Structure 1
């Protein structure tokens, strides 16, 4: 039987925990070793898991491996998606890309820059809102800094409309089809951009996980 607690990367086998034949009992320390190695393969040798980021990463990992006990203790709802917020350069996008590799064979979300959704709308119109709003599992990167959409002279808050559609999809699928996002903005700033209705829906189908506002810029 294949052992799902082990992953081979670059010819090296990494153990994420212990497998008893039916269940993987994950070990956070071993997960960190794997993520650090995988991060270097994906993003280059300068990638590093910083000790100060471990509290956030613990939450993200517990959600990704579907550790119901830890998630309950941390106030994380496994039926909801993730809204990962924090300052520019703190590593949100890299972590969301990295976490997709933690559970081989699981259904992966597609990383989509929010601005690309708007560019698609400008070209294709409301079909874009259907494409991103009615199906699929996505992580919308840099939510809130995308421009306003414009198609045939009409302006549209594209991501606001997509999020409303994604909320309906969340309800219809009973949480099986999730939406994730990263953002540099806080709740008040998101509400200013998308309005109270969208912000209210976001509270209902996102788990908010936030880096501290003083988190260092990893790109510096």
Structure 2
């Protein structure tokens, strides 16, 4: 059953309006979305969570992407049909944000956030079935791409995430199924980690949304 009021989200006894309905369209209000994200972040991650002023530009782009505002996204060079690769230094809040944003659009199909190292541990234990499992039609966000160890199963090494990204690329071409990811690495480091072929596929799979390299570590 579709939600007649997808612009209103209820958390416990509190109701958050993200904008107004006009016909069958939602006119979203960025500041109202930030209020909701801050409240939901505290519910998910604890009282210390906060939305930082210096992250407004990134948050604005992510909001536009997740509400699928095609025209505004185009101005920022964001293709709403691709996934998001959220990059930035350690501790800048990438994982929290990517976990949080799926709650902003509860009327859309959610994605599952999976740490890449867990996927590799699964491969070491179960082998190539793991690559097939993540090459299926589900929506995933691969957290911490590029820092996972090399996979090894029965003495054979495998760049597990590289293989999965190739499978996800095929899914994207055939069925427009999106993939999201977070990473601490820059483009050159990703290419070194996965090779030129995977890197070129990643350009077609992802919109790069990057925190400033100087972003502070919010965990300190």
Query: TM-score band (shorter)?
Result: over 0.9
Alignment match, 1:209: 209
Alignment match, 2:47: 45
CA distance in 1, matches of 2:5, 2:81: 26
User: Cα deviations across residues 77-121 of structure 1 (Å, max 9, x unaligned)?
Assistant: 011000000000000000001001001121001000000110111
**Of 13, 26, 33, which aligns to 1:31?**
33
Give the C-alpha shift of residue 155 in structure 1: 0.3
Give the C-alpha shift of residue 17 in structure 1: 0.3
CA distance in 1, matches of 2:19, 2:45: 24
Specify every segment of 5 or more residues in structure 1 that has no aligned partner in the other structure, as ranges: none
CA contact (8 A) 2:165 2:198 kept: yes
Alignment match, 1:140: 142
CA contact (8 A) 2:102 2:111 kept: yes
The residue correspondences of 1:107-126 to structure 2 (distance < 5 A) are 107-126=109-128
CA distance in 1, matches of 2:192, 2:10: 45
Alignment match, 1:182: 182
CA distance in 1, matches of 2:6, 2:198: 38
Q: Name the SS of the counterpart of 2:218 in structure 1.
A: coil
Give the C-alpha shift of residue 48 in structure 1: 0.5
**Of 60, 63, 68, which aligns to 1:61?**
63
TM-score (norm 2): 0.97
The count of aligned residue pairs is 218
CA distance in 1, matches of 2:23, 2:116: 41
Q: Name the SS of the counterpart of 2:145 in structure 1.
A: coil
The residue correspondences of 1:73-112 to structure 2 (distance < 5 A) are 73-112=75-114
Q: Name the SS of the counterpart of 1:41 in structure 2.
A: helix
CA distance in 2, matches of 1:21, 1:47: 35
Alignment match, 1:127: 129
Give the C-alpha shift of residue 4 in structure 1: 1.6
Give the C-alpha shift of residue 164 in structure 1: 0.6
Give the C-alpha shift of residue 69 in structure 1: 1.3
Alignment match, 2:200: 200
CA distance in 1, matches of 2:5, 2:156: 54
CA contact (8 A) 2:6 2:107 kept: no
Specify every segment of 5 or more residues in structure 2 that has no aligned partner in the other structure, as ranges: none
Structure 1 runs (4+) deviating above 6 angstroms are: none
